[in-house]
């Protein structure tokens, strides 16, 4: 999955269009793209900085954020004044996506997202490193650009601490329950020797074409900035977190206990799923899916010949050494092998394949202890490869029977394929190519795990059980996320429910539950998105009969980039009509 953390990029100079004719929609589209109104994800924000050559870190001052909010509201109003029905099919999608993005930026500010620039996995203290590394140091100019951003790290951290202090006073904090050990991640950025800092890594290798004396001066300047500004800023944040934030964080885990919390959770539910559902409806869907998947799991257990009940089988999977490796390299090599194995099956599922390659890398050590089991990173469409991240921390909690499903989800035919195809759709506007909505992207990722069945990928019952435990994991999310945030469930109740229905390691169970607590409703998007894609495929199969080609269907799903699910349904209906006309 791609990351979605609270961060705002404010670029001065936003101007308003003055007419509301249909043709103005194109002007508005260009305006929104050119001025990059607040990115929703740190990775998207880093991409904007890299693409536009911005040397400064985001201005998180009260004045800057308030000004940006007013600019977004004005532009959103102009978009809403357009007669959408007069637009072409593609421009209607453009309009839908721009309104969706702008409305979310407005909503996040309205609900106080800037008071909580952290979650259980990471936060601004780690995101800022990714923001700086969004632009590689390949020559003197890029090195100086990096140094300029590096000089702003201390101020940026102080601004974020200011918002967190206000959050303590206003009741906007992360729950105390998910912050245990969080300070260790902050401390990992505090280095006595500047050359050991993660921020110094771009200066460890001299780029070709840079004079040796110039490079030495650049290295000295980087070390000076890290020692005088960056490290002290992280020490300030560490002290603030330990002495003020953690003791003052709220005891409740429910999002509904935040200011205007019920409306906030409903807003997040609709944003992440792009569906108009209530928490109760989502909860009931989850219970139904859990019951269905549990039956399939039992069938697989029976295939193994295991003598014992479900809980005993899960305990066997969690503890038997045959399912675990001994070194990080072994896990990475297995993930790389599986990646190449599924690569060979892609022509059976797609007519269009991406040109962008991808690699396999470990999750960065600074964030690995509280990080999820795997992620997809990169693939920004600028000629850079994508990367399938595998978490090599705590190897006794990274079972091999889950690795096949994880690989299909994060690499191909999941996130790498979906995101790379979107980036390579040159006929689409730039903002469409980089746009990502969780319901579509994560729904596609989970659907991709299922596609492994259709090409014979899961060749033993244990890996197939791993696939089912991943599907069950996403179904349980519908139950525990709504349960904790709207129905009074405790953290332990959610842990017990997830542990009792999946074969996830207990480490994964607790980190996942903490993620749901600190990132309300995002986890709902996976299963609801997958259910929608499967329903649309069944509809196409039924209406097209022997004209149905799964490769053509997949191309139709992906060719417009990431879409809200309502827009995806419209595009699939158009696809069916076109195929029938042939």
Mean pLDDT of 103-109: 92
Please answer whether residues 528 and 443 qualify as being in contact, where contact means their C-beta atoms are separated by less than 8 angstroms: yes
Which CATH number among 1.20.58, 1.10.8, 3.30.160, 1.20.272 corresponds to the domain 1-123? 1.20.58
Task: Provide the residue ranges of all domains of the chain, joining segments of one domain with +.
Answer: 1-123, 136-173+180-248, 269-528
pLDDT band, residue 39 (cuts 50/70/90)? very low
Of 333, 562, 327, 346, nearest in space to 444 by CA: 562
Residue 432, token pair as written in the block? 């469409």
CA dihedral 136, 139, 145, 146 (to 10 degrees): 50
> Can you give the C-alpha Rg of the chain in angstroms?
24
Query: DSSP letters of 516-572?
Result: HHHSTTGGGHHHHHHHHHHHHHHHHHHHHGGG--HHHHHHHHHTT-S--HHHHHHHH
- The pLDDT tens digits for 417-457 are 999 999 999 988 777 898 899 999 999 999 999 999 999 99
pLDDT value at 379 more than 80 = no
- The pLDDT tens digits for 273-326 are 999 999 999 999 999 999 999 999 999 999 999 999 999 999 999 999 999 999
pLDDT band, residue 107 (cuts 50/70/90)? very high
What does pTM read for this prediction? 0.87
What pLDDT was estimated at residue 133? 81
pLDDT band, residue 55 (cuts 50/70/90)? low
Name which of 26-35, 205-214, 452-461 the model is least confident about: 26-35
Please answer whether residues 569 and 532 qualify as being in contact, where contact means their C-beta atoms are separated by less than 8 angstroms: yes
Mean pLDDT of 53-61: 75
Label residue 501 left, alpha or beta by phi (over 0 means left) and psi (-120 to 50 means alpha): alpha
CB atoms within 10 A of CB 291: 11
- The pLDDT tens digits for 214-258 are 999 999 999 999 999 999 999 999 999 999 999 999 999 999 999
Name which of 166-175, 499-508, 518-527 the model is least confident about: 499-508
pLDDT band, residue 12 (cuts 50/70/90)? very low
């Amino acid at each position: 999955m791609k990351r979605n953390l609270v961060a705002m990029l404010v670029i001065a100079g936003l101007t308003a269009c003055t007419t509301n004719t249909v043709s103005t929609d194109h002007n508005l589209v260009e305006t929104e793209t050119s001025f990059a109104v607040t990115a929703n994800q740190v990775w998207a924000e880093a991409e904007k900085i890299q693409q536009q050559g911005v040397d400064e870190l985001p201005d998180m001052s009260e004045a800057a954020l308030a000004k940006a909010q007013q600019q977004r509201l004005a532009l959103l109003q102009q978009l809403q004044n357009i007669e959408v029905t007069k637009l072409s099919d593609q421009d209607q999608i453009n309009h839908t996506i721009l309104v969706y993005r702008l409305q979310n930026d407005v909503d996040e500010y309205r609900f106080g997202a800037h008071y909580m620039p952290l979650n259980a996995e990471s936060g601004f203290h780690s995101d800022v490193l990714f923001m700086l590394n969004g632009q590689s140091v390949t020559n003197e100019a890029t090195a100086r650009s990096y140094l300029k951003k590096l000089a702003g790290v201390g101020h940026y951290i102080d601004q974020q601490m200011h918002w967190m202090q206000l959050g303590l006073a206003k009741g906007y904090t992360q729950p105390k329950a998910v912050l245990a050990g969080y300070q260790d991640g902050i401390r990992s950025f505090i280095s006595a020797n500047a050359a050991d800092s993660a921020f110094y890594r771009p200066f460890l290798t001299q780029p070709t074409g840079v004079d040796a004396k110039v490079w030495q001066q650049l290295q000295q300047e980087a070390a000076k900035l890290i020692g005088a500004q960056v490290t002290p800023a992280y020490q300030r944040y560490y002290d603030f977190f330990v002495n003020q934030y953690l003791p003052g964080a709220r005891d409740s885990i429910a999002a509904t206990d935040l200011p205007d919390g019920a409306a906030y959770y409903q807003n997040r539910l609709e944003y992440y799923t792009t569906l108009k559902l209530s928490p109760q409806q989502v909860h009931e869907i989850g219970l139904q899916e859990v019951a269905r998947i549990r039956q399939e799991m039992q069938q697989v257990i029976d295939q193994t010949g295991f003598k014992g009940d479900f809980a005993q089988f899960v305990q066997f999977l969690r503890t038997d050494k045959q399912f675990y490796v001994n070194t990080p390299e072994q896990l990475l090599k297995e993930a790389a092998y599986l990646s190449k194995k599924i690569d060979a099956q892609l022509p059976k599922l797609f007519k269009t394949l991406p040109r962008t390659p991808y690699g396999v890398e470990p999750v960065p050590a600074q964030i690995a202890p509280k990080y999820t089991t795997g992620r997809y990173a990169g693939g920004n469409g600028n000629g850079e490869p994508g990367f399938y991240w595998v978490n090599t921390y705590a190897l006794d909690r990274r079972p091999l029977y889950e690795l096949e499903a994880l690989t299909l989800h994060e690499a191909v035919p999941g996130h790498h394929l979906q995101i790379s195809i979107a980036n390579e759709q040159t006929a689409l506007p730039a903002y469409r190519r980089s746009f990502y909505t969780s319901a579509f992207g994560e729904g596609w990722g989970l659907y991709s795990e299922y596609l492994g069945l259709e090409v014979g990928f899961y060749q033993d019952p244990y890996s197939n059980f791993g696939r089912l435990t991943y599907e069950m994991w996403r179904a349980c999310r519908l139950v525990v996320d709504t349960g904790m945030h709207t129905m009074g469930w405790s953290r332990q109740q959610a842990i017990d429910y997830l542990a009792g229905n999946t074969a996830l390691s207990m480490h994964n169970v607790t980190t996942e539950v903490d993620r749901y607590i600190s990132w309300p409703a995002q986890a709902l998007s996976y299963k609801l998105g997958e259910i929608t894609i499967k329903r649309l495929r069944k509809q196409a199969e039924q209406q097209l009969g022997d004209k149905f080609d799964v490769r053509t269907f997949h191309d139709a799903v992906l060719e417009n980039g990431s879409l809200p699910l309502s827009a995806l349904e419209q595009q699939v209906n158009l696809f069916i009509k076109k195929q029938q006309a042939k």
